Structure 1
Amino acid sequence: MLLAIPLAALVSLWVFSAGTTLSAALQRSEFTRMYKDVGLRPAPSSGRSSASAPPPWPS
């Protein structure tokens, strides 16, 4: 019994975090698919892409 309660809490926390992560991933996938169907390119997800980043040395 002493192990069951913390284990149940850990499993429920894992299920909650997995559910929210999968939900966000599915929403993003649907958004990207919709943009591709319309013929647009979605904005980069985060950070700078390697194509637009300046070189690490001065030109």
Structure 2
Amino acid sequence: MNSDKEDDRQHEQRHLGELLAELAEVHDPATEEELAAARAEWPDHSPRAGTPAYRPT
């Protein structure tokens, strides 16, 4: 039985890899400029930023 689970997992991982490759073919990777622009639009709530984490009320 465990072998079947391992086979299923390997199949899922292979399929995921194929989907990621297809996505990479369709969409070019973001440039550093695009990444910087996207980061500038979102606040950094990470501990290293020194800001409190977002806590919904």
TM-score range, shorter chain: 0.3 to 0.5
Highest Rg: 1 or 2?
1
TM-score by length of 2: 0.48
Q: Which has the higher helix share?
A: 2
TM-score under structure 1 normalisation?
A: 0.47
